[in-house]
């Protein structure tokens, strides 16, 4: 039986006050089961990034309910949301967000360092994650010594080193050429299928969204469509 991982119920997000206020999200309902690969698409200002920030517990909704594994996330404090992210989520961003003066291995170890994992175990887990993305031979290289595609692979290794239930990818191919973009999307697809990691991809690129098995389209802060697709 498939387990419900994410449920948004009537989610709204309002920024500002008075005449300057605007609604980034309005009455959004969305469910995502464990093991799904969902793309969230939409033009700039459609609310897709706001939705990802709420799903990733980086921001709180102004109204509605957000359940993660049955837990009401909208009721959590900032510290409790941070703990939720640390235990269950991994993040991949367009800009890689790697520490420039540290090696690939040290970058991947960072989430484990925050968890207090002992040094030997930390090294072992980080090397396993780098091996999973095909970059173990580059473990001692700094980001400046790696290509854009390799840097994103390090970022993905860092995101999966804690074995998260949910991987959130915000425009992960936005800084890459078409060949490297395909490599990254194939890696995300493989992680979804082989590790059963739920992947939520935010993108404005249709040729990247086709890798997902569901496509949610946002328009003006609402979900305009939610369509199954074959994926790749």
Q: What are phi and psi of 115, to 5 degrees?
A: -85, -10
- Supply the pLDDT for residue 190: 95
* Number of domains making up the chain: 1
- Supply the pLDDT for residue 2: 77
Q: Secondary structure of the chain: what % helix, strand, coil (to 5)? A: 40, 30, 30
Question: Rounded to two decimals, what is the model's pTM?
Answer: 0.94
Q: Does residue 84 contact residue 68 with C-beta atoms inside 8 Å?
A: yes
Domain of 49, CATH number, reads 3.40.50.300
Q: What range does the domain containing 93 cover? A: 4-228
Collapse the DSSP code of 111 into the 3-class scheme (helix H, G, I; strand E, B; otherwise coil) and give the result.
Answer: helix
- At 127, list the tokens: 């090397």
- At 41, list the tokens: 């698409």
Each residue's pLDDT tens digit, 155-213: 999 999 999 999 999 999 988 999 999 999 999 999 999 999 999 999 988 999 999 99
Dist CA 149 CA 156 (whole Å):
11
3-state secondary structure 155-223: HHHHHHCCCCCEEEEECCCCCCCHHHHHHHHHHHHHHHHHHCCEEEEECCCHHHHCCCCEEEEEECCEE
């Amino acid at each position: 039986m498939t387990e419900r991982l994410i449920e948004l119920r009537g989610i709204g997000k309002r920024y500002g006050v008075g005449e300057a206020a605007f609604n980034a999200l309005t009455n959004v309902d969305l469910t995502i089961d464990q093991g799904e690969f969902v793309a969230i698409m939409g033009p700039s200002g459609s609310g897709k990034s706001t939705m990802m920030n709420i799903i990733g517990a980086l921001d709180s909704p102004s109204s509605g309910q957000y359940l993660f594994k049955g837990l009401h996330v909208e009721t959590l404090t900032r510290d409790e949301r941070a703990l939720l992210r640390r235990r269950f989520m991994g993040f991949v961003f367009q800009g890689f967000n790697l520490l420039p003066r540290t090696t690939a291995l040290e970058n991947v170890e960072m989430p484990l360092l925050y968890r207090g994992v002992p040094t030997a175990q930390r090294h072992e887990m980080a090397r396993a994650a780098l091996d999973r993305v095909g970059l173990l031979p580059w473990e001692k290289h700094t980001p400046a010594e790696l290509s854009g595609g390799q840097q994103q692979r390090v970022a993905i290794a860092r995101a999966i080193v804690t074995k998260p239930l949910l991987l959130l990818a915000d425009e992960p191919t936005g800084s890459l050429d078409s060949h490297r973009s395909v490599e990254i999307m194939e890696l995300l697809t493989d992680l979804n299928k082989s590790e059963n990691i739920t992947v939520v991809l935010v993108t404005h690129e249709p040729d990247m969204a086709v890798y997902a098995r569901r496509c949610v389209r946002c328009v003006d802060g609402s979900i305009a469509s939610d369509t199954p697709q074959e994926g790749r």
